[in-house]
Amino acid sequence: MSSQIEIQRIEKSKIASVDFNNLPFGSVYSDHMLECNFKNGAWQTPVIKPFSPISLDPSSKIFHYGQSIFEGMKAYKDAENNTLLFRPLDNWKRLNKSAERLMIPQIPEEIFMEGLKALLKVDNDWIPTNEGSSLYIRPFMFATGSGFHASPANEYKFIIATAPSGAYFAGKVKVLIEEKYARAANGGVGYAKAGGNYAAQFYPTQLAMDKGYNQVIWTDDNTHQFIEEAGAMNIFIRINDTLITSPTSDRILDGITRKSILQIAEDAGIQTEVRKISVGEVVEAAKNGNLKEMFGAGTAAVISPIAGFGYQENDYELPVLENSFAAQLKKKITDIQTNKVADPYGWRIFV
């Protein structure tokens, strides 16, 4: 497949204009992107081309019926300048799970993996080597076929774009437990990385930000009594020395970082529980001092500690711990990702 990928190189790289010591998250873009079109019932030959705008007909169904899905990944450099990926096949499988739910044709593993590796080789100099930085990778697929009829499109576009990035969050994160709005419902698309899931989060998140919070803790759509996700991330809650996270479902994304944390924590002797956890249990643990940590987990931030949360007009602060579970687990994951320690799980892939 790699020999079949067409490569159109940029005339002049813009890399010299980038300050790699001061990278915002996801807003500086590498020189190239991979593009592959689906038409006449088949995926066409992938092309690596200069990062550039896309031209679409106003009747393209992405604009009208929202057939759009994406993934989030990262590439890293180790001390020997090797390029590494972390569990990329999990991203490919999840992208296709999302595609199935939104009636988008699934992308073959060969196009996804060989196209990604070829793109990283072309833009290898864009992968940061600074501590805490990485090359954020955004594979996405959307409907390009035209028509106002409410039905799946007959043409689609798959793109992989990349952005050298620093930390996702800076400073302490304070969250508000949501009591009215829901991120997803049973039977819906909450488990898929569909663009509409995130668009629907923006309004309630802004309401929380207007009150002085950074993010929302989502609760179940029916009773709003059970903790589900933290903003755009999975959530972990430590009560005493037990680390708890909600089970995946139609409403909750099967996070790759989440799965990694559970495996590493269990192997490190940390007691873990995957179960429903009520808001009442969290509030009670905060009141009696048993709530030790809360943190979000996802590709972008890896682990984002939560400093405090609000619920029913009350604020609860979390203690500042030395050698927290969040710090231990983040170090272990990032050390595996950057080839600083052994990888007993086979998660690390060299490009």
Q: What band does 228 get if pLDDT is binned at 50, 70 and 90?
A: very high
pLDDT score, position 131: 86
Q: Helix (H, G, I), strand (E, B), or coil: what is residue 130?
A: coil
Provide the 8-state DSSP code for 60.
Answer: B
- d(CA 184, CA 201) in angstroms, rounded, equals 10
- d(CA 51, CA 30) in angstroms, rounded, equals 7
pLDDT score, position 172: 79
pLDDT in tens, 21-69: 999 999 999 999 999 999 999 999 999 999 999 999 999 999 999 999 9
In this predicted structure, the answer to whether residue 191 has a pLDDT above a threshold of 90 is: yes
pLDDT in tens, 139-168: 999 999 999 999 999 999 999 999 999 877
For residue 69, what are the β-bridge partners? 141, 194
Q: What would the two tokens of residue 87 be? A: 């569990």
Q: Do 341 and 335 contact (CB within 8 A), yes or no? A: yes
Q: Helix (H, G, I), strand (E, B), or coil: what is residue 298?
A: strand
Phi, psi values for residue 38, rounded to 5°:
-110, 120
Query: pLDDT over 70 for what percent of the chain?
Result: 99
- Hey, what domains does the chain have and what are their CATH numbers? 2-165 (3.30.470.10), 173-336 (3.20.10.10)
Higher pLDDT, 300 or 16: 16
Q: Helix (H, G, I), strand (E, B), or coil: what is residue 137?
A: strand
pLDDT in tens, 60-110: 999 999 999 999 999 999 999 999 999 999 999 999 999 999 999 999 999
Least-confidence region, from 10-24, 164-178, 263-277? 164-178
- d(CA 74, CA 165) in angstroms, rounded, equals 9
- Mean pLDDT over residues 332-346, rounded? 96
Q: What band does 3 get if pLDDT is binned at 50, 70 and 90?
A: low
For residue 219, what are the β-bridge partners? 227
Residue type, 276: K
- d(CA 340, CA 78) in angstroms, rounded, equals 7
- d(CA 227, CA 84) in angstroms, rounded, equals 34
- d(CA 135, CA 172) in angstroms, rounded, equals 24
For residue 229, what are the β-bridge partners? 218, 234
In this predicted structure, the answer to whether residue 331 has a pLDDT above a threshold of 90 is: yes
Q: Helix (H, G, I), strand (E, B), or coil: what is residue 315?
A: strand
Phi, psi values for residue 85, rounded to 5°:
-120, 160
In this predicted structure, the answer to whether residue 2 has a pLDDT above a threshold of 70 is: no
Q: What would the two tokens of residue 227 be? A: 């903790």
- What is the value of pTM for the model shown? 0.95
pLDDT score, position 167: 79
Q: pLDDT averaged over the chain?
A: 95
Q: What band does 170 get if pLDDT is binned at 50, 70 and 90?
A: low
Instruction: Report how far Cα 108 is from the mean position of its chain's Cα atoms.
Output: 21
The CA-atom distances, in angstroms, between 6 and each of 9, 47, 74, 131, 267 are: 10, 5, 23, 33, 44
pLDDT in tens, 307-330: 999 999 999 999 999 999 999 999
The CA-atom distances, in angstroms, between 109 and each of 95, 97, 303 are: 11, 13, 28
Q: Do 23 and 129 contact (CB within 8 A), yes or no? A: no
